[in-house]
Structure 1
Amino acid sequence: MHADPMMWIAGVRALYLQALHPRVVRGVLQNSDFRRDAWGRLLRTADFVGTLSYGTTRDAERAAARIRRLHRRLKATDPDTGEVYRVDEPELLLWVHCAEVASYVEVLRRSGFPLTPPLADRYIDEQRESARLVGLDPADVPADRAAMRAYFARELPQLAVGAEAREVDDFLRSPTTPPLLVPARELLWRRVANLAYAALPPYAHELYGRRAPQQGVVDLRLRAAGNILRCVPAHLRWQLPPKHILRAMARLGPGSRPAPYKLRGQAAILDGPGRAMRGDDGGDITRWRTPG
């Protein structure tokens, strides 16, 4: 999954979702220079995810230890109450983790990546290891789609769009860019940001104050984007820094090359004998449902 080019759109969707938690987004804005170094921040995040996905165990543990040390030093202040809190509170780390993992699952699944329901559950379960690395107890982290849906339902009353979330929204739509790259921002980035935003669950659109697009239309757009991006040969995409996949293949051998077709055998095992294979169950794990 992490080798798929739609992960970039999924990552931007995660940023929109994360900004809905007031304490999380406040911690980011009060401790980050993302306005001046947006691209560097995105690349560092991608490098961290890549290290956890494709690096050695020692590489992953070292990278995670650096993140934990950094987070331990950072605090934020609630302007309404004056409360000072640490940005590595488990509640905040859990929201960031779930927003990321849910976004990865939803965008890839809806864009045509062969992610069956059992495989989605397995992925969510496996990502509890990444949650451990950033300081969470895996026992407190959702382990499948049902648990993830229940988590988002519980968190919904805490979500809001304040001044900080508006600032993130405005920035993602028109990030600071060197003059020479402004045309590329208008041509490419706006499309990425608009599609990532469109892929949010309905309650997120409601909180941001915009009408939610029809999910079927968004699915068509995601699938079209996936088809286009996946036409770019993988060996060309993987040449871009930091080249985690190429280094992993050099270490583990050519048989370790990430390829979606390898999932089909895993899906058959997970689905079990005699069960019909399905591409997905149509359920957004970031949606919430009211009783009745």
Structure 2
Amino acid sequence: MNIPVPRVSGLRERLGSSLFTRVAGPAGPDNRARIHGAPGPRWFSPERPIRIVHGDASMFIGGLRALLLQSLHPLAMAAVAAHSGYRGDPWGRLQRTSTFLAVTTYGTADDAQSAVDRVRAVHSRVTGTTAAGEPYHAADPHLLAWVHVAEVDSFLRAHQRYGRRPLDGAGCDAYVADTARVARALGIPDPPLDRAGLAEQLAAYRPELRATREAREAARFVLRHPPLPWVARGPYAVLAANAVSTLPPWARELLGLPHLPNIETAFVRPAGHALTSAIRWAMKPPARPAVRPPRESAATPNSPASPAR
């Protein structure tokens, strides 16, 4: 039986709008219009790899992986647990992060710098002590660098497995180099510039990483108790399973997460490809007017990182 085209179009619009609202928040449409429509130079031109990666549905998987991996640094996790409000307002935190990524990736250079300045001001006020008595400061370049490399590794690995247009080797290195532009603005003095540097920096943090009580609680919250209606739990479980499947074995072991390679190959990964394709379909950008926008403002307006970080 053929489904009428208007019905399919309406379904896509409803699904896309629901996803967009979750990720971007109530201010999403206004933010999107400003990010993509405001005239002015950008940090990244339209063809740069960072725009390809951050505009793809694979970011849903990469973002979950990044949260799990980042939680393994006890100082970073203590700061998140004490100051981020991820339990009380998880969607607000997601929307703020999403808008930040969108502004720095697609927005004007002035807006990108303003977003960075706001984040740095927040970091400067986040201090405390872990349960083990270790002091932390969110503005510490060493902690910022850990959050950065864990995020970049997660986004890139998710994109290379689930993205619509996986990058070649040179493109992967260029993506890492693109993200270094934002990292330096945030106060990270020596971010990696290619995959070799990224792997080296990740390995250097290994002796510092462990699964604290806060990290395990965060993993349980993210993977098992997401604040979602029951109808959305199934698709979310697919995203979560694929995020876990891309973690390195040592990270899974620290968090007590299972490693079932046969099941992952036969079921988890195909389901991840199917779901990201469905998200990509649902969030397809709306038709643009005939008037062509300025070249530097062209982007993917309904992408996961588009109003949104």
Sort the TM-score into its range (normalised by shorter chain).
0.7 to 0.9
Q: Are 1:84 and 2:149 an aligned pair? A: no
Q: Are 1:44 and 2:44 an aligned pair? A: no
* Cα offset, 1:97, TM superposition: 0.4
- Runs of 4+ that moved beyond 6 A: none
Give identity over the alignment, percent: 33
Q: Are 1:200 and 2:260 an aligned pair? A: no
- Which deviates further from its counterpart, 201-210 or 8-17? 201-210
2:124 corresponds to which residue? 72
Amino acid corresponding to residue 207 of structure 2 in structure 1: P
Matches of 2:296 and 2:117 in 1, distance apart? 30
1:285 corresponds to which residue? none
Matches of 1:172 and 1:20 in 2, distance apart? 14
CA contact (8 A) 1:38 1:175 kept: no
1:98 corresponds to which residue? 149
2:177 corresponds to which residue? 125
Report which structure shows greater RCO (CA 8 Å, sep ≥6): 2
Amino acid corresponding to residue 179 of structure 2 in structure 1: Q
2:3 corresponds to which residue? none
Matches of 1:233 and 1:35 in 2, distance apart? 28
Q: Tell me the SS of whatever aligns to 1:79.
A: coil
**Two-structure CA RMSD over aligned residues (Å):** 2.7
1:157 paired residue among 189, 200, 207: 207
Amino acid corresponding to residue 154 of structure 1 in structure 2: A
Matches of 1:60 and 1:250 in 2, distance apart? 23
CA contact (8 A) 2:58 2:158 kept: yes
Amino acid corresponding to residue 125 of structure 1 in structure 2: A
TM-score, with normalisation over the residues of structure 2? 0.72
Matches of 1:43 and 1:250 in 2, distance apart? 29
Matches of 2:248 and 2:144 in 1, distance apart? 20
Matches of 2:149 and 2:266 in 1, distance apart? 21
Q: Are 1:24 and 2:72 an aligned pair? A: no
1:252 corresponds to which residue? 294
CA distance 1:50–1:238, shift in 2 (3 Å): farther
Deviations 1:189-222 (A, max 9, x none): 2222222112111111111123433299459744
CA contact (8 A) 2:116 2:185 kept: yes
Alignment of 1:1-292 (within 5 A): 1-81=53-133, 83-112=134-163, 113-137=165-189, 140-175=190-225, 177=227, 181-214=228-261, 217-218=264-265, 221-222=268-269, 224-231=271-278, 236-238=283-285, 252-253=294-295, 256-257=298-299
CA distance 1:23–1:235, shift in 2 (3 Å): same
* Cα offset, 1:186, TM superposition: 2.3
CA contact (8 A) 1:111 1:224 kept: no
Deviations 1:144-194 (A, max 9, x none): 1111111121111111001010111111023453xxx43134222222222
Matches of 2:280 and 2:235 in 1, distance apart? 19
CA distance 1:151–1:125, shift in 2 (3 Å): same
CA distance 1:90–1:217, shift in 2 (3 Å): same
Unmatched runs of 5 consecutive residues or more in structure 1: 240-245, 259-292
CA distance 1:176–1:221, shift in 2 (3 Å): closer
